[in-house]
Amino acid sequence: MKVLVVGGGGREHALVWKLQQSPQVEQVFCAPGNPGMKGVTAVPVADLDELADFASREGIELTMVGPEAPLCAGIVDIFRAKGLRIVGPNQVAAQLEGSKSYAKDFMARHGLPTAACGVFTAAEPALAYLREQGAPIVVKADGLAAGKGVIVATTLAEAEEAVRDCFSGRFGDAGARVVIEECLFGEEASILALTDGKTIVPLASSQDHKRLGDGDTGPNTGGMGAYSPAPVVTEALWETVNREVLGRFLAGCQADGLDFHGVIYAGIMVTENGPKVLEFNVRFGDPETQAVLMRLDSDLAEALVATADGCLDQVQLVWSAEPAVCVVMASGGYPESYAKGLPITGIDEAEANGAVVFHAGTKLVDGQLVNNGGRVLGVTARGTDLRAAVDRAYQAVACISWQDVQYRHDIAHRAFGRQ
């Protein structure tokens, strides 16, 4: 089977790495791919119609979409119109990530637990609402903002600045509508699941680290690391999540007639009043995927084909008991401005120490690997227990360097706090 993965970041590198392990997969293509992907045919095509034409000509039998942007742009509709098998929601269902207000309406209609909110299309009513509610409070750009459109404001002044930033164009069209939510307190968890529209199958739990700095300080980022499983997701919590989040999500999709054959990611806050949904993503998370797939012992290609074909009830996922940890190494200055083109060394040594280094923002320049993005590498390792996995990942991180590299030193700290 020929497989196409759409995207070129760390999540897509992890998908490629896992798909290559399947006996069903003969060849993997990636559009556009990245320098870390070995044995992959790069496809330098960005236009979705041209990519669908390429998949038809090449005889691609399965396409897996990594990022949210092509899903929200309708790649699934385009591929399906050509009779191509693809994993992901169609353009209408992709609004569950593409519009936070659409997602909040969906949750309200179908009884999913979530934070109270207000939705605004102009600054003055939003600012008046803020002053009524007070801080702490959460301000979200409604549309896609590469993981940077969510501001957890601890003061009213910070919240007002966030609202003005949204409406002044800082996040482009994504900020033309703003969602203002109550600030939930507790511990976060990432719940990913496959669904074919009839069956929903949860993946292993994980926890992302959104803040830039140790101790969950600094600005929000696209994610500075992740680990799986997340101890906060106990058996009792799984039961609640399956019933009140995943079950109601699937029933809601069916009631609304949404065409969803793909991955749903529910960002959960575990509060004293139970789990509440912070957001939906309609694809694999990044960097959660790197940690979660490191623990998947069954065939990913088989599960994705079943997801696309509507026979997910015939698939049994098998997970390793060994925890996995992903540490993101980022460019100095991220998530704001940063220098590119800085030489990276030590990846071979890191992988010789038992880690897998997933590339997220790298480039080859005259044969030299350099940084080419904010999040550059996801150094991922498994271990007999969480401490062993963390130690192995950080031993590998210590092998890698480039000018002004930054990373968190406390990935999985909440799990150790629970112990």
Contact 66, 400 (CB under 8 A): no
Nearest of 368, 380, 370 to residue 407 by alpha carbon: 380
* Distance from C-alpha of 122 to C-alpha of 178, rounded to nearest angstrom: 8
Q: By C-alpha distance, which of 203, 230, 204 is closest to 414?
A: 230
Q: Note the pTM of the prediction, 2 decimals.
A: 0.95
From CA 317, how far away is CA 133, in angstroms rounded?
44
**Residues 347-375: pLDDT tens digits?**
999 999 889 999 999 999 999 999 999 99
The pair of three-digit structure tokens given for residue 166, joined into one six-digit string: 């949204």
**Superfamily of chain region 324-418:** Phosphoribosylglycinamide synthetase, C-terminal domain (3.90.600.10)
Structure tokens at 259: 């065409």
Asked whether the beta carbons of 182 and 291 are under 8 A apart, the reply is no
CB 267 within 8 A of CB 190: yes
Q: Are strands 200-202 and 207-208 parallel, antiparallel or unpaired?
A: unpaired
2-90 maps to which CATH number? Answer: 3.40.50.20
Total number of residues shown for the chain:
419
- What are 71-111's pLDDT values in tens digits? 999 999 999 999 999 999 999 999 999 999 999 999 999 99
d(CA 154, CA 27): 49
- CATH number for the region 116-182 comes to 3.30.1490.20
Q: Is the pLDDT of residue 146 over 80?
A: no
CATH number of 186-314: 3.30.470.20
Contact 91, 167 (CB under 8 A): no
Q: Which residues are CB-contacts of 151 (< 8 A; sequence separation ≥ 6)?
A: 138, 139, 140, 158, 159, 162, 165, 220
pLDDT per position as a tens digit, 24-60: 999 999 999 999 999 999 999 879 999 999 999 999 9
Task: State the chain's mean pLDDT as an integer.
Answer: 96
Q: Say if residues 299 and 281 touch (Cβ distance below 8 Å).
A: no
Q: Which amino acid is at 255?
A: A
Mean pLDDT to the nearest integer, 304-308: 98
Is the pLDDT at 144 greater than 80? The verdict is yes
Residue found under tokens 């060849």: 27
Domain-wise residue ranges, the chain: 2-90, 116-182, 186-314, 324-418
Burial 175-212 (b: 16+ CB within 10 A, else e): bebbbbbebbeebbbbbbbbbbbebbbbbbbbbbbbbb
If you ran DSSP here, which 8-state letter would residue 182 be given?
E
What CA–CA distance (Å, rounded) separates 403 from 344? Answer: 8
- Going by pLDDT thresholds of 50, 70 and 90, the confidence category of residue 276 is very high
- For residue 205, give the nearest of 246, 164, 253 by alpha carbon: 246
Provide the strand spans (E) within 68-153.
86-89, 117-120, 137-141, 150-153
Q: Tell me what pLDDT residue 147 has.
A: 67
Residue 228, pLDDT score? 98
For position 226, what pLDDT does the model report? 98
User: Residues 373-414: pLDDT tens digits?
Assistant: 999 999 999 999 999 999 999 999 999 999 999 999 999 999
Cα–Cα distance between 77 and 362 in angstroms, integer?
Answer: 31
pLDDT at 353: 83
Does residue 255 contact residue 107 with C-beta atoms inside 8 Å?
no
